[in-house]
Structure 1
């Protein structure tokens, strides 16, 4: 009999096609019908696949879907063995190639009958290997049939290892790399790999660096079935954590993200598989950031029941999502529908709302609409997500919808949902764009209201979100406007809160109450002028010109009065933190106290507390005092980190002490002698040089309080010069790219060594100053060379420095200076004569 299958090929019995009905060798009828791949309804009605066949691994040939008649006599299948044996024998290498190709096509059609048909084929040894061999056929029809047969065999769990061990993976690789290949062959080959990738032991064989770029290329293929299969393979490969690095390096994240960001209607299967793959990759923190950088946010699935507490806002005058209201236009609409049109005036073409506010309004509108109709999360969606092996409690949304969804969840009543949304906001705040987006969407307003939530879990998640968002100065300003400081300070004053909460509150307050921002005028000079605030809001809204659309603040908040905010209880709490906490918390507490010290009315409260005990504790760091500890020898990296943290805390405390010394009242009560001894010890310690600036400044100020005869044998100025000034000048010579800075450093160092030759030259040598000085001789300006020659000559008076000067390469440079007969050749000659050359 002659039929047309794939290409126009001659196919011998026992398979023939009559009016859309495929006849198998034993007379089993299966109806051929067009469909999308992977329709699970087929398998729910087929007894062949019941309890034996994985519905996710269903198969279809190039002609369409195959439905098996469930009412036929399945005992007839046993009679098919002899006919199947005939076709298996025809697969042998001793047969003609055309016969082999026809045989594999017939077996491929027969395998569509289900697991029992596959069992019948695999009764004959070597059938899989002979089928794999036919993947090398140049005929697309034969190659497609071979791949389709392997696809059906690999869809049965017990035969998957047999297919993988037969070399099918390598042969399919070779097929997919062909320059000219039909989409049907691609689909069958990729679906076979999709089936094999279900087992973890086969994924490493598939996830090699050569094949991953090819899979990513298939994601851009026009045929939907090919894209679905490629996406399914990648989703399965992502289930193995060891494959993540290879997948990320191959560039899989941008391609998968593009499938989800594309708003055009596409395949639901490929979107689901892309989501599954990205959710698995997102379990790694670095990968999560890469996914969010592509414009996708991880949004928790909190359950459809949680959204039942969502209450749509009743009619009110319109406002932006961040709470900024749109003022009513004084000029009514000529159509008499000013309120109905929400304050918009069609005559005004100058209204220009900035992009961030537009996106926030779009996202809010979408998510509130979905919540109102009950479609934001459905029970069916939650059940299906719960059945996946990947993370079942998250989904991925484009950032505009994701930001709006997270803000909406913050307004629900479910504590678990609120906490998860706050954690997601914290994770998503990876850059300024996202932080400002959350601010425009109204996240700050909701988070501030939740600071005093009775649940510690919610409170911790909310503070973590605010901490990450407060990196932005715009967010800090919004926090001030929303009275967040009162809630934060009230929370900090409670000494029973956990250390984690204390740390987060201090982080946020340190960013808002930052002394370097000159917050004195902003916080203490009385209420903010309403017109100034209105202008600021209008500027934020991006309005220009004489528009009819005006913006006003949603509240009548006044600027926070720090004198009332930072009362004696809070100040005492900060001092307790300085006395008992880690260096990191000590630094933050000292910074907040420094901010308060800038405001003169707060000084009375600061003087009333025992601040000296807090400063004393910070300046006596255990890491610096425990000189007998062997931690620096056993674990030098840990010791360096501890010294770094101690340096930050000491620098903050020294800066606070220097500010306090500007007030005469404090100078009368401070124990200048005690703090001078502590600071001198710190100055000689191993803390990094850039932390010693304020230590030196405090010592200089304290020296004036101590009188001219205090500790005459060890003058303060000399120690500051040796342990702070000279190392800082040497560091500038090493790191500066400016010739002017280099020259100024060398000239200043020459002045110091000229006044105090012995101690200062030893400090220069001990600080590693010889090598940068020799470098100045080669590349420096005339003035810098002259100063460097003078310093090196003083250093050469100590014979211990000769080896270092010669090792730095000074001799050939000095000889060139002498032979050049320049303005410094006599100094160079004198220095050259002192060296043992």
Structure 2
């Protein structure tokens, strides 16, 4: 303070944006006038301050996206600045202001010093270097000011840290000074000005460029804070928060915590907003979502928010687009709209924006149809004028892996863009767009949107494309679209069966198993034999199996009419032979689908003869010899339990489909005459006692009963087949209904049927009930069921109690207090309850 300090210092920091020396627009910065007073205080001349612009967050030493406000000055002012701004005097004042940051100084002086240094640092890197050449403790003093209650001090400190952190060389020093933690604490304050938030978040934006520093920002609390700032009223704050989130997504380890914090819906809203947001916030939101979309689960979450991932194929690819000539507007799916006026637009607007506006008030369109029409018009307009993907294409010229580039568009534009791409000539673009359509079909709304946008017709036409990559992508897209019954009808109407069947005939030599599976998926949905019959073939007591044949005949009559419109491709011998060959493979999923299609085809008598003569018996025998059922206990212990459960599930599905097919075939005399009944009976009995899921045993039991009934019409009640079906299919099925059904009527019917089986003295029936875990649901039903259900349950448990080995399970199920309650209330069946209590060791 003993120095002779001039009352006013003017200096001209260099303009690093590069204006010429003769430029009249120079940055004019005036430091505070500093003079010694009687009280040794520093007076502040606030009128001498000019506020240059703000330095944007950047990652390349502050040389990008830096905007500085300029103040025009006269030629004399320029000469004065040039004469008085010597490096020595400037350095002296920097040292003075740094000393004023000391904790022992007046808070207002510290505030004035940090604001002055902030304005000084805006001159460029050499001015920041002048500040940073002083001891490292300077940064700690600046960070300490973030705790100040003064808005100006917080803004100045955050602004100075923002400028310093914009240079790579100083980022680690800023982080080591505790800036991340202090700024995070500052941002948690309930009331904070927009300027302070802007400077603080932009500082973190600069620091988040460094991967090491991103790890220090990864916490659910901090990310939730950023998500809240995405809804801030100040656009600059939103941009900075989005920029930090985009940088955080560059570290894959952050994805889980960011998704759990609700980042995806907030970023998606920024892209879907009707009001045009700034380019910066939309760009950062898109970049963040694209990084998150590299995970398949996150990709689904993004698309559930109404966004579509679209491949960037390059502006050149759209030059092959040929707009249709003038015609009356039609819906993208081909539906014609009644024309009320044939006069074209006077200025040609109707030709350019065909279909964007429909004046016919009689046209009733739902929202999906209107969105499809608007989206098609917008995307075709961009393609016509050559503006589509223009910005992205120019930006990516330096990128090496352009084939992997994606963008994210709102649903309306994204769906229309993908449909537009599959109509181009670029083969790589077509394959990528078809794959994107398959990925986007995550729900019914998305599938309907693609149908209304006209994707089905183009995809069906591409099935016969010579390139395998395009065929595979197209079949995959149709597979995902065909999950919807609504879309499936359109796919079938476009004539998809003929090209698919032709492809499947190449199964042996040209197409892979995965490709075959996709084709069979579509065919099984179109040729679903259970569309009209959801009930099981066997649905009642063991001795009532004869009613199955009547159900089969009625079902056959129902689907025969639908086959007339399909064509003769299904009845081709080579196609049937191909399906039988698929049955002989060891892939349960393919076996199930092939058996389901054959079941549909067999309704036609002429095709039944072809199936019988195509070695169908050996194909069925292969299905019933599943590897997963032949594994011994030691093999199962060595395998992963989850994998074995999945194998049993797939095997059960294939066996159930083959059992249905065998049941249909048994209606034909030529097949019965050539069938080895003994062999198939043995196979089905082994499957019935296997570990496949119970729901797949019903058709096995039905087929087994029908098979034995045709070979021996005088079945006795104690036949081995009846006993095995009862023990391994009927009893487990009834117990499952008692245990899992929410309907009291279903539970009552099941327990009455189970009581009938047990009371008739079926061999080992009580042991089967106990081994299937039936004691616990029966005891529970005794407490909450209807009177008939309670009485039947009580009778079954009483029979089970005759075997001492069941006593422990009955007691563990809590039967004693329930039985005592029944006796005390003197229900009609209290006598049996009392006898049961006497049987138990209580």
TM-score normalised per structure 1:
0.86
Residue in 2 that maps onto 1:517 = 531
> After the TM superposition, which of the residue ranges 293-302 and 769-778 deviates more from structure 2?
769-778
Kindly indicate whether residue 462 of structure 2 is the aligned counterpart of residue 450 of structure 1. yes
Name the CA shift for 1:333/1:275 in 2 (closer, same or farther; >3 Å): closer
State the match for 1:53 in structure 2.
62
Aligned to 2:504: 492
Residues 649 and 127 (structure 1 numbering): CA distance in 2 closer, same or farther, change over 3 Å? same
Tell me if structure 2 keeps the 8 A contact 1:524–1:560.
no
What is the distance in 2 between the residues matched to 1:635 and 1:517?
36
Say whether the 8 Å CA contact 1:20–1:32 is kept in structure 2.
no
Pairing of 1:244-283 with structure 2 (within 5 A): 244-283=255-294
Unaligned ranges ≥5, structure 2: 1-5, 13-23, 33-47, 73-77, 533-554
Q: Aligned with 1:515: secondary structure?
A: coil
- 1:778 corresponds, among 748, 763, 783, to 783
Distance in 2 (CA, whole Å) between partners of 1:389 and 1:445 is: 31
Using the alignment, how far apart are the partners of 2:724 and 2:181 within structure 1?
73
Per-residue Cα deviation, 1:444-499 (whole angstroms, up to 9, x for no partner): 11111111211111111111111111100111111111111111111011022112
Q: Deviations over 1:757-802 (max 9, x none)?
A: 4421111111111222222222222222222232222222222222
What does residue range 122-133 of structure 1 map to in structure 2 within 5 Å? 122-125=132-135, 126-133=137-144
- Correspondence 1:349-498 to 2 at 5 A: 349-378=361-390, 381-384=393-396, 393-494=405-506, 495-496=508-509, 497-498=511-512
Residue 823 (structure 2) pairs with residue 818 (structure 1): yes
Is 1:743 the counterpart of 2:738? The answer is no
1:508 alignment counterpart = 522
How far is the alpha carbon of 1:32 from its aligned partner? 7.4
Which SS does the other structure have where 2:584 is aligned?
helix
**Counterpart contact for 2:146–2:157, Cα < 8 Å:** yes
User: 2:98 matched to 1:99?
Assistant: no
Task: Please state if 1:579 is matched with 2:588.
Answer: no
Give yes or no for contact 2:270–2:282 (8 Å, CA) kept in 1. yes
- 1:540 is matched with which residue? none
Q: 1:831 deviation in Å?
A: 2.3
2: CA distance between counterparts of 1:195 and 1:475? 49
Aligned partners of 2:52, 2:224: CA distance in 1, in Å? 31
CA contact (8 A) 2:227 2:241 kept: yes
Partner of 2:120: 110
Q: 1:429/1:37 Cα in 2 relative to 1: closer, same or farther (>3 Å)?
A: farther
Give the alignment partner of residue 675 of structure 2, picking from 670, 674, 680.
Answer: 670
Asked whether the 8 Å contact 1:327–1:343 carries over to 2, the reply is no
1:1-150 aligned within 5 A = 13-14=8-9, 21-23=27-29, 38=56, 52-56=61-65, 58=66, 77=87, 80-125=90-135, 126-150=137-161
**Residues 87 and 106, structure 1, Cα contact 8 Å, conserved in 2:** yes
Identify if the C-alpha distance between structure 1 residues 169 and 160 changes in structure 2 by more than 3 Å, giving closer, same or farther: same
User: Would you say the 8 A contact 1:77–1:117 is kept in 2?
Assistant: no
Q: Closer, same or farther in 2 for the Cα pair 1:624/1:649, shift >3 Å?
A: same
Task: Verify the 8 A CA contact 1:651 1:692 in the aligned structure 2.
Answer: yes
User: What is the match of residue 694 of structure 1?
Assistant: 699
Q: Secondary structure at the match of 1:692?
A: helix
1:113-153 CA distances to partner (integer Å, 9 max, x unpaired)? 11111111111012211111122223222221111111111
* Separation of aligned partners in 2, 1:165 and 1:33: 29
Once the two structures are TM-superposed, the CA of residue 38 in structure 1 deviates from its matched residue by: 4.1
Q: 1:144 to 1:377 in 2, by over 3 A?
A: same
Tell me which residue corresponds to 1:189.
200
Distance 1:334 1:266, change over 3 A: closer
Once the two structures are TM-superposed, the CA of residue 380 in structure 1 deviates from its matched residue by: 5.8
Alignment size in residue pairs: 777
Question: Structure 1 residue 361: deviation in Å?
Answer: 0.8
8 A Cα contact 1:301 1:382, kept in partner: no
Q: 1:107 to 1:749 in 2, by over 3 A?
A: same
Mark the CA change 1:214 to 1:628 in structure 2 (over 3 Å): closer, same or farther: closer
Decide which of 170, 174, 184 is 1:173's aligned counterpart. Answer: 184
Per-residue displacement from partner, 1:300-356 (whole Å, max 9, x unpaired)?
Answer: 111111111111112345421112233556x9889999x989999999643212222
Q: CA deviation at 1:573?
A: 1.0
User: In the alignment, does 2:801 pair up with 1:796?
Assistant: yes
Q: 1:813 to 1:13 in 2, by over 3 A?
A: same
Deviation digits for residues 674-693 of structure 1, max 9, x if unmatched?
11111011001011111000
CA distance in 1, matches of 2:581, 2:318: 44
Secondary structure of the 2:409 match is strand
Contact 2:115 2:156 in 1 (8 A): yes
Structure 2 CA distance for aligned equivalents of residues 147 and 12 of structure 1: 28
> 1:476 and 1:613 mapped to 2: Cα distance?
33
Over the aligned positions, Cα root-mean-square deviation in angstroms equals: 3.6
Structure 1 CA distance, aligned partners of 2:581 and 2:794? 53
Q: Deviations over 1:370-428 (max 9, x none)?
A: 00000011166442586699997111111001000000000111111111111111111
> Quick one: distance in 2 between partners of 1:469 and 1:177?
47
Give the superposition deviation at 1:222: 2.3
**Cα gap change, 1:389/1:486 in structure 2, threshold over 3 Å: closer, same or farther?**
closer
3-state secondary structure, aligned to 2:28 = strand
After superposition, the Cα gap between the structure-2 partners of 1:190 and 1:73, relative to the gap in structure 1 and judged at 3 Å, is farther
What CA deviation, in whole Å up to 9, does each residue of 1:575-601 have, x standing for no partner? 111111311111111111111123333
The change in CA–CA distance for 1:814 and 1:33 in structure 2 (over 3 A counts) is: closer
Q: Deviations over 1:155-198 (max 9, x none)?
A: 11011010011011122123222333222211111111110000
After TM superposition, the structure 1 = structure 2 runs for residues 300-315 of structure 1, keeping only pairs within 5 Å, are 300-315=311-326
Q: Give the one of 326, 329, 335 matched to 2:337.
A: 326
Q: Contact 1:135 / 1:147 at 8 angstroms: preserved in 2?
A: yes
Unaligned runs of 5+ in 1: 1-10, 41-48, 529-558
CA contact (8 A) 1:147 1:185 kept: yes
Query: How far apart, in 1, do the equivalents of 2:91 and 2:832 lie?
Result: 106
Give the alignment's TM-score, normalised by structure 2. 0.85
- Distance in structure 1 (CA, Å) of the matches to 2:649 and 2:715: 31
**Secondary structure class of the residue paired with 1:590:** helix
